[in-house]
Every structure is written in structure tokens, then in C-alpha cells.
Structure 1
Amino acid sequence: MIKILLVDDEPMITEILQAYFNKAGYSVIIAENGIEALRKARNDNPDLIVLDLMLPDISGQEVCSLIRKDNDVPIIMLTARSAEEDRINGILIGADDYVIKPFSPREVVVRAQAILRRVNKDGTTKHMAFNNGKLVLDFFKKEVKVDGNIIALTPIEYKLLTNFVHYPGRVYSRADLLAKVQEDGTFFEGYERNIDTHIKNLRKKIEDDTRHPNFILTVFGMGYKFGGKMDV
């Protein structure tokens, strides 16, 4: 059974989330502070961690950083901070996703399920297909196909696309995307607005009509999101 480690010092939150995860068929482990979270992440080998940013002993950011030194387990961060800088810091230290409080417990479970569907037990990402095979990504070969044809993407375009498809519907600001591009050491010289140019070029390669895109959607005043529907 898939194990979820919930890390939060508020019993009401952990009880509600545990009930939702149990109903979805997952086993749940609970840690009330950072030290306990590190111990259980090491000893209990969870398949996914839901980690609160504000903990009574050490911060969730520090816990995430320490876990990331030797463990690639997916991490969803819970935070009451909505500032863009806090979200970017979460991405840079290795969080896979974040949810801002107050949140819907069902949303947390759905986001966890989305991540787990895309990750094998050994931590490697599977291939993904969208819109009845229109767009296919093979993460082992690092290939992208549109209508069965391999599309040549630049490293930055490939990085942007892979981040989009892992979280369909999630809105990324330009700063979020810039942080994602740079987090693995990818060289990117420029500013947030330069992301628009790469998005434009990416659309030309994967969209039938760049004026009415199906995959990379603009969220006016906020950024971009992925609109493709994953094939079952």
C-alpha cells in the first residue's frame, strides 16, 4: 500500500487529511515536527510527503532541503504564505508542488494522486500522453512527439514543457517558470519576460493554432498553465 507522510503540528489538519487519504486507499504516517519528519522519512520510506512550511522546531524548508540530500520522494508543501518569493523558494529547495492554506483536503489528495500516477516506485518518471495521443512525452528518451512525429525542442523548451505537464491546471507565474528552468543548473540568461519568448516558440512546435492553444494556456495577469487532458 502506498504510504503518505503527513507533517504538520496542527492535529485538526492531520486528522482531516488522514481521513481523506485513507478514504482514497492510502496508508498514512504522521509527524508533528521536523525532527520526527526526518526520522520517519528515513525509516518508514514514504511514497510521498505532505509537509507544512511552519513547524515548531525547524522549518519545513529546512526539512525539505535535508530530505532532498539523499531522497527523491515527492514533496507537497503546505504554506499559509502566498507570496511569490516563498513559492519560488519552495521550488528551488526541491518541493514538487505547494498548496496554500486554507485549502481543500480533496485538492491535496488529488494533487498527490497526480504526482503518484506519474512516478514509478523507483522514482523515475513515466511517459505521458495527452489529448488522445496528440502530445506524447517519453522522459527516458527525452523525446516529445506531436501527432506521432518527434519534435525538436531546445533544453529550455523541454524543461518548461515537462514542468507544465506534471501539474495540469496549475498556474505558473513567469518567476515560477524562471525558477523551474534554473533549479537544475540549466543556463538561462535573461529576465522573467524572456519566458514569454520561449513559450511562444514552444507553442509554435506543439500547437495546431497558436492563437487558440490547447496545451499552453495564458492566464491573464497571472502567467501560464497546461490545458492538455491526460490519456488514461
Structure 2
Amino acid sequence: MLRINRRNSDSGERVLFETRPRLIVRLKSAIFKFIIVLLLLYFFTTIIRYAALLQGSVSTIVTVPVVTGTTYGVLIIILLLLMWILWNILSWRSENYRLTNQRVMVKSGVIRKNNVYMHYNKIQDIIISQSITERITNSGDIEIFGGHDRTSLILEDIPNPGEVENMINRMIEGDDSEFETNPPEEPQSAQNNLRSKKPQKPEKRQSVMEEYDKKFKL
């Protein structure tokens, strides 16, 4: 997600780039949980059948509602996994990486909102790390180190980490010319009115010698 020159009217701060973590990388644990849910639903009747066989074998020793307990247990596990998946999705939605013309910002938190940032003049070093999955999905982690007590800011699973690093380096060097937008174009009708109001220059009349030379050259 790329947004250019979204201006904060209060401070004059412009948003140059805005994105979220790569969805498929950040939600890989949620995908794994969803697969477990599908497997539990698919083998639900088989699990209950084995629970009934187990209850038949232990009913002579103790009276334990194995079938009922197993049914409730599987349903509770499925419900907890679905809630966990929903929490993962909300966490991904709440996480936001933003580059402005003044600083790098990381916003996160579903219930408790966190807003961490670092100004470009405080940045001392940038490190990019990529796992195999992140290389496949063209994402990675960018760790930004500041000069004060080696403070750091981490942009996890950010798409196109190389391009984002180049943007940060350009902003550190003060080169934000590529992010400047062109001035708004005037409406076509206004342009036509301006053209009609412009004084027409008289055509330059050829001298007698030029007409004479042209006549004989032809």
C-alpha cells in the first residue's frame, strides 16, 4: 500500500509510504490453526465413535461420560482455535508501518494502542533479515537502530524490504524529491479560457530579400 503526500495539517507532516506486514507471512500460524480446525471437524464423528468404544470398555469399572466429555472438549478446542485465529487477524489489521517526511512510525495493538517512532536524524544503522518463507513472499524484517542507548525499531514481515530501506536511506540523506507530487492540473475549460485570452503574436513577415531568394531557389 503506497500513499504519497498525505499531509497532516497540524504539523505539516506528510505520509510518504504506508503498509502492513505481509498477510501470508504474518498469518502463517493462523493458517496452521485453521487446518487443525478443519481436521477436527472432518474427524469429529470418528473421534466420537472411539470415545463411545472407550466408554463401553470402562463402564464396568467407572461411570465416566466419555462421549459427552469428548464432544464438549473437541467443540471447546475448535472454538478456542477460531477465537485465536480472529485475534491473529485483528492483530495484523491493527499493525501499521508508516514513513513520513520526518520519521518512521510503527502502530500496533488491538486493545492497547502502541505508537513507536524514530526520527531520521536519530537513525544510525539499518539491518534487514529474511527467512526462507520471507524470501519466497518478498518480505522481511527491518531493524532500525538509533543513536541513543542503541534503541531499535523493528518492522516485521514488511513487503519489499529492500525498497523500504532505500526510501529510509533517501530520507536520512534529505532526498525526498521522488515523493513530491506534481501540481494539480487546471481544468480543461480554464486552460482553454487562458489560451483564448493570450494575445496572438503577429506572424513575422518575410523581408523582400528573403522572398526574392525563395522565389529563385524554387
Q: How high is the TM-score relative to the length of structure 1?
A: 0.19
| Larger RCO, structure (CA 8 Å, separation 6 or more) | 2
Computing the radius of gyration from Cα coordinates, the structure with the larger value is 2
Q: How high is the TM-score relative to the length of structure 2?
A: 0.20
